[in-house]
Amino acid sequence: MDILRFFVGACLGSFVNLIALRYDPDKFLFRREVVLGRSRCPGCGKPLRWFELIPFVSFLLQLGRCRRCGAGLSIRYPLVELAAGLIVLFVPARLEAFSVSPLHPIVPIAWISAMLLLFLVALVDARTKIIPDEANILLVALGAIVAWYVAPHFSQVTGSFVGSSALLLGYRENVLVNRVVAVVFSALLFGFLVSATRGRGMGMGDAKLGLALAVLFGWPDVLLIFVLSFIIGSITGFMDIAFRKRTLKSHVPFGPFLVLASALVFFWGEEIVGWYVGLIRT
């Protein structure tokens, strides 16, 4: 069953990669030509047959090359499929370990969809430096679905991926109030950053993604996401400058950092907070 779930995830990853590579910033993210268009070799442009599109298998059997022209295929393809397979495999397991009561079946489906969509956002932003509004709208919708179905079980000690540490920052009694606090905080933070940098250091796409994450994760999880994303972004920026890959004036897409931080909080939020608390106590 786990193998089948992983393979389904890998197939979804192939689809996510296809959309990310075909996305045109001037057009709709999920337009018909992108979703239903034939896959082609990036080298010779020949349409790929069904047996050339099997996740992992096709790449390995063809030794990472086009069967016709011999052009090398990017390692990105199996890596994206691997990541998506792991998402579909481990997101439900994380939710089962995290929840103190049975979850509605739609909750893991919504979270898998949200994680795959966030993965798509990271890939698109890394390539185009644009976060599509359509993706943010879908994330808000998925966040609303999650909030609706976890509301009956939401309390001071449930509903947060940082565990009991969430009690330190309050607003845990009502899921609606919790989301409103998260959205207001996100709006104030990113509103200030966009205004202070005049859109050059932080764009509106990042701000909209921050609001979507607030609806999806709630308070105080979104606070930890923002803190981690700034830390990861700063470390990455310093390393790029040190190795002269970028300069201080270079524009670095922030979406991938928000997405990576979201994944860290989802899977290891409680452990990260516990590690930090233990660190400051020593």
Where in the chain are the domains? 1-98, 102-282
- Is 23:105 a contact under the CB 8 Å cutoff? no
Q: Is the pLDDT of residue 91 over 90?
A: yes
pLDDT in tens, 241-269: 777 676 656 678 899 999 999 999 999 99
> What CA–CA distance (Å, rounded) separates 166 from 153?
16
Indicate the average pLDDT of the chain: 87
Residue 208 has pLDDT above 70, yes or no: yes
Q: What separation in angstroms does the CA of 125 have from each of 9, 115, 199, 247, 255?
A: 21, 15, 15, 19, 6
Among all chains, which residue has been given the structure tokens 């990105």? 76
pLDDT score recorded for residue 6 = 94
101 versus 137: which is more confidently predicted?
Answer: 137
Partners of residue 40 on adjacent β-strands: 47
pLDDT band with cut points at 50, 70 and 90 for residue 276: confident
Q: What is the pLDDT of residues 161-207, one digit of tens each?
A: 988 888 877 777 788 999 999 999 999 999 998 888 776 778 899 99
Average pLDDT of 149-167? 79
Residue 122 has pLDDT above 90, yes or no: yes
- Residue 155 sits at φ, ψ, to 5 deg, of -155, -170
Amino acid at 202: M
Residue 100 has pLDDT above 60, yes or no: no
The pairs formed by 65-68 with CB atoms below 8 angstroms and a separation of 24 or more are: 66/41, 68/41, 68/44
Q: What is the pTM of this model?
A: 0.92
